[in-house]
Structure formats: structure tokens, C-alpha cells
Structure 1
Amino acid sequence: MAAAEGARGTRWQFTSMELVAGLVLTGTMTLAVLFSPILFPDGGESMDLTARLIPPFQSSAHLLGTDPLGRDVLARVVVGGKISLMVGVLSVIGAVILGTLVGLIAGYYRGIAEILLMRFADIQLALPFILIAIMFLAILGTGIDKVIFFMIVAQWVQYARLVRGSVLALRDREFILSARAIGVGNVRIIAQHILPNVLGPIVILMTLNVANNILLESSLTFFGLGVDPLIPSWGGMLADGRTYLQSAWWVSVFPGLAIMFTVLGLNLLGDWLRDSLDPTGQTGQ
């Protein structure tokens, strides 16, 4: 009994540390991005060729140094975070809406709708992501809206399969059968009884996918397939600084650290949500 109590206490402390660390990392970056218009009114675009490639921590005006065009690295990291976070959040919201709708229809109504939707999902999962991204963006061109649209199209399948599996486990439960027996309509059953019971796994996957999409956007932009190079973004900063890694490492390292800490914070929050919302993840109880 004492051992079980000790295990629960240790697990609670660990998950609490995950929550605190996740909130600190993601909260710091989110607040910096939200207040970036006040902190850096120029949007990190002001150039000063006389102050180019200043190393970090050697100038109070440029705490993290400057890039090859004399632009402040700290300002561009904070302003660039706005693009990466926006792409990550909006693409996940779109994928959740589309995938959840498909999963609810396929799991609840089954029949030909389930067969067609799930086989289409299986085909999409078999396609190589990078090759499809290159073809898609090469045909339609680059831009924030196109990157978001592509991520929605590429990731709705995850939510569709997750929701469908949850709905299949719920549709024949007693409370659903009772609702049908008293004449409750299918749409109302889905909205009031099934959807609230599948929100937990959806929220967990959303949190993890925002982190994943930030990495995807940065990778696509690094390869010239994402955000317009004229717009500050973490992937663009990494691409701009790759030729200066030996002489001016800070141009690439600080946006890379911003990506790492933001993704780490979101993953920690996702792990905490999984432990909190998923009863099967609780051990020692």
C-alpha cells in the first residue's frame, strides 16, 4: 500500500513538472509573439549594414547579435515565431474539423460511407509526405495559405481514424442505445453523447500536432517550399544562416533553439494532457 502511494506521488510530481515546464516554455514564446508589435515595432526588418554580424551579448541594442544585413536576431526570432505558431495552430484546427467530421460519419453510420472514407484515408496514408509536399507546393506555389491548406489535407486522416475508432467503441454502449430507444435523433446523439466523449484524445493529438506542424513549416521553408523568404520565419532564418555557420553561428542557432524549446514545451503539455485525460494512461491506481 505504501509502495503504491509512493508510486502515485512520484508520478504526480513528474506530471506536474511536465505541466510547469510545458507552460513556461510555450507560454514564454506565446507571450513574446503576442507582444512582438510592441516590443519590436519594425517587425525585425530594420537594416543597418554598419552593424552587420555583431556577435550575441556584445551590444545592448542587439542582445542576440545581428544577421548579415544588420537586422536584430532577437527581433526576427520573436516576430518569426508568429508565422510558425500561426501555421501550426490554424493547420491543426482545420485538420481537426475535417477529420472529426469524417470520423464521426464513418464510425457512426458505417456502411458504404465508412468503406469509401476509410479506404480513401488509407490511400492518402500510403503516399510519401515529402514528395507530395514538393509536388503540391511546386504546382500551386509557396505561401502561408498554401502551406496551411496542404497540412490540413495531409493530416486530417489522423483525426478521422482516431475519432472513428472511438465512435465504434461508443456507438453500441448502453447510454447510446437508450437514447435511440427514446427517439433521440442521430445528429443529436452524435453532438451530445458521442462527440464530448472523444474530445480528450482529440485535444491530446492536437497539442502534439501543433508541435509537429511547426517543425514541418520550418522544414518546408528551409527548403524554399514554405513561407515567402521576405517574411521572417524560423525556417527562413535557418536557411539564411546556413552559409554563416562557421563565421556567425548565432544567425541559425537562436531560431533553431526557438523551434526546439517551443516544440519541447508543446510535447510536454501533450504528455501531461494524455496522462490527465486518458484513464488508461494512469498507472498504479
Structure 2
Amino acid sequence: MPDAAPSRPGQAKTARRQSSFKALEFILGVILVGGIGLAVLFSGFLFPGGGSAVDLAARLTPPLVDMAHPLGTDPLGRDVLARVIVGGEISLTVGLVSVAGAVVIGVVMGLVSGYYRGFWDVVVMRFADVQLALPFILLAITFIAIVGGGLINTIVLLIVSQWVQYARLVRGSVLSLRDREFIQSARAIGVRDIKILFQHLLPNLLGPVIVLMTLNVANNILLEASLTFLGLGVDPTIPSWGGMLAEGRTYLQTAWWVSVFPGLAILLTVLGLNLLGDWLRDTLDPTGRTRV
């Protein structure tokens, strides 16, 4: 015991440093995500035309040359700043809605599979194993070839490809909780299964699920941009970050800003969401806390 005393000041200093870093992560994440979210939320007020106004006389204007177009214009003379902010609505909608759909399906499947086990558990988990073995791009190409592209189909594709992550996560947690004393007590006094699942088990699983949700929103924004870039995602006539990257790839040497600014918007949004996800993981996971 006496040998441990000298290390306590060092442990306290390390804990303070880690706490400061967590706070910085949270602040930067809120600034990035909050700033971009507010800009997208008020995009209709800031840019009533939706960034679709064409001005061929001002086509490919560089940034900071014309204050009417601070980030320059694209090959059709459309304002890049307006299209980046308006396009963020599509990318954020895809990220948020697809994650919400995957969470609802995956959590329900995981709860039922882990709680009841048996035949239902075997069917769901084997189906999940098969789906996880499929490369995402193969699943995307097959899905788009059958049902077509578009905003709704892109969201459905992401839901179909990601619900298994939540199902496996929730099932594993339920298996470790279903035989605990508070669950057995609830069964003993006649609490219905539906109430046990959603009032006793689900609240104990929300931490890891929330962390995975935050990270998957960022991942889905990247996937939507990638699919749209490849021509498999959102309709190219609708402004989106991936579509803008695809449009500007032929102008990289002569008009770099057409692709760089939507790419920068993706980078900052994903960075902010990842910072918030890391902060949530450290905050909600008690095993990750430094004890002094």
C-alpha cells in the first residue's frame, strides 16, 4: 500500500488531462455539428432559390473574387456556398433517417432474439451473419439494380445494410442481463414480457446504442456521398455533397473549389459527429473512466 501513494498525484494529473481532452472533444463536436446543422436548418431562409439559380456569365468564378459568390460558382454559374448548405439537408437527412430506421428494426430484433432465444434467435442471427458477410458495395449494386436509385431507396438501402449491427449489439447485452435478479424478480411478480423488454431491459442498453448511432450517422453521410459519387445514390439533379463532388471531379485542375468545399463540408460534419461519438463512448462507458 505505501508504494501506491507516490503515484496518486500522477494519476490525478492524468485524470485532469483526460477530462480536459473530453471537454475539448465535446466543445469542438458541438461547434462543428451545431454550426452545420443550424446552417442547413435555415438554408431555406438564407438561400430561397435553393442554390439552383443559373448565371452562365459568372460560371467558374473563383472564391473571394465576387462577394456575391464568396466560395465561387460551379460550371453553370450556381453559387457554391448556397449549394453546399442546401445540399447538406439531403446528406444529413439520409444520415439521420437511415440510422433511426436501423435502430428501430435492430433494437427490436435484438431484444426479441436475446430474450426468447431458441428458433427465433437462430434464424435472426444466421441471417445477420450472412448479411454481414456480403460486401456493402455488392449489396448496394444489387439493391439499386432491382429497385432503382433515389433518396428514399438510398435510405432504405442503408437501413437494410445496418440494422444487423444494432441487433447483434442489443442481443449480446440482453443475453448478459436476462438472468439478472431484477429481471427474474419482474418475471416472478407476473410482469408481461413486453414490459420487461422495453421498461427493464431497453433502458440498460441505451448507452452503447446511442454511441453506435452517433458514429453511424457520420458513416452514413460518407456512404451517401460515395453512392451518389458513383451514380448509385441520390438523383444528381438534387443538390447533395456527393453529387457536387461528382460534378466537380472533371474540373479539379481548373476549378478546384467546386469539389473541395463540399468535400470540406463532409469532412467537418463527420469529424464533429465522430468527436461527439467518442465523447459519448467515454462518458457512457463506466469501464472507460479513469479512477483516482
Where on the TM-score scale, by shorter chain, does this alignment land: which range?
A: over 0.9
- After TM superposition, the structure 1 = structure 2 runs for residues 3-82 of structure 1, keeping only pairs within 5 Å, are 3-82=10-89
Q: Which residue of 2 aligns with 1:101?
A: 108
Per-residue deviation, residues 13-58 of structure 1 (Å, max 9, x unmatched): 0000000000000011100000000000000000100000000011
- Structure 1 contact 7–284 (Cα < 8 Å) conserved: no
**Alignment equivalent of 2:147, drawn from 133, 140, 151:** 140
Q: Which amino acid aligns with 2:54?
A: M
Measure the CA separation in 2 of the matches of 1:271 and 1:183.
40
Q: Does residue 158 in structure 1 map to residue 165 in structure 2? A: yes
Q: Which amino acid aligns with 1:224?
A: G
Residue aligned with 2:48, SS: coil
Q: Tell me how far 1:139 sits from its aligned partner.
A: 2.0
Q: Tell me how far 1:186 sits from its aligned partner.
A: 1.3
Measure the CA separation in 1 of the matches of 2:289 and 2:67.
49
Measure the CA separation in 2 of the matches of 1:3 and 1:284.
12
Q: Does residue 276 in structure 1 map to residue 286 in structure 2? A: no
Q: Does residue 126 in structure 1 map to residue 133 in structure 2? A: yes
Moved over 4 A (4+): none
**Alignment equivalent of 1:266, drawn from 248, 255, 273:** 273
Measure the CA separation in 1 of the matches of 2:189 and 2:142.
52
Q: Which residue of 2 aligns with 1:110?
A: 117
- After TM superposition, the structure 1 = structure 2 runs for residues 231-250 of structure 1, keeping only pairs within 5 Å, are 231-250=238-257
Q: Which amino acid aligns with 2:10?
A: A
Q: Tell me how far 1:185 sits from its aligned partner.
A: 1.5
Q: Which amino acid aligns with 2:263?
A: G
- Structure 1 contact 44–79 (Cα < 8 Å) conserved: yes
Measure the CA separation in 1 of the matches of 2:274 and 2:23.
14
Measure the CA separation in 2 of the matches of 1:284 and 1:243.
54
Q: Which amino acid aligns with 2:41?
A: L
- Structure 1 contact 53–66 (Cα < 8 Å) conserved: yes
TM-score normalised per structure 1: 0.99
- Structure 1 contact 108–168 (Cα < 8 Å) conserved: yes
Q: Tell me how far 1:183 sits from its aligned partner.
A: 1.6
TM-score normalised per structure 2: 0.96
Measure the CA separation in 2 of the matches of 1:25 and 1:193.
35
- Structure 1 contact 138–225 (Cα < 8 Å) conserved: no
Structure 1 unpaired stretches of 5+: none
Q: Which residue of 1 aligns with 2:3?
A: none
- Structure 1 contact 208–267 (Cα < 8 Å) conserved: yes
Q: Which residue of 1 aligns with 2:199?
A: 192
Please say which of residues 127-136 and 233-242 is displaced more in the overlay: 127-136
Q: Tell me how far 1:141 sits from its aligned partner.
A: 1.1
Q: Which amino acid aligns with 1:242?
A: R
Measure the CA separation in 2 of the matches of 1:238 and 1:258.
11
- Over the aligned positions, Cα root-mean-square deviation in angstroms equals 0.7
Q: Does residue 230 in structure 1 map to residue 237 in structure 2? A: yes
Please say which of residues 274-283 and 154-163 is displaced more in the overlay: 274-283
Per-residue deviation, residues 56-101 of structure 1 (Å, max 9, x unmatched): 0111100000000000000000000000000000000000000000
Q: Which amino acid aligns with 1:66?
A: T
- Structure 1 contact 47–71 (Cα < 8 Å) conserved: yes
Q: Which residue of 2 aligns with 1:206?
A: 213
Q: Which amino acid aligns with 1:101?
A: V
Q: Which amino acid aligns with 1:241?
A: G
Measure the CA separation in 1 of the matches of 2:277 and 2:17.
19
Measure the CA separation in 2 of the matches of 1:239 and 1:192.
46
Q: Which amino acid aligns with 1:195?
A: L
Measure the CA separation in 1 of the matches of 2:91 and 2:180.
41
Measure the CA separation in 1 of the matches of 2:62 and 2:170.
50
Q: Which residue of 1 aligns with 2:5?
A: none
Q: Which amino acid aligns with 1:263?
A: V
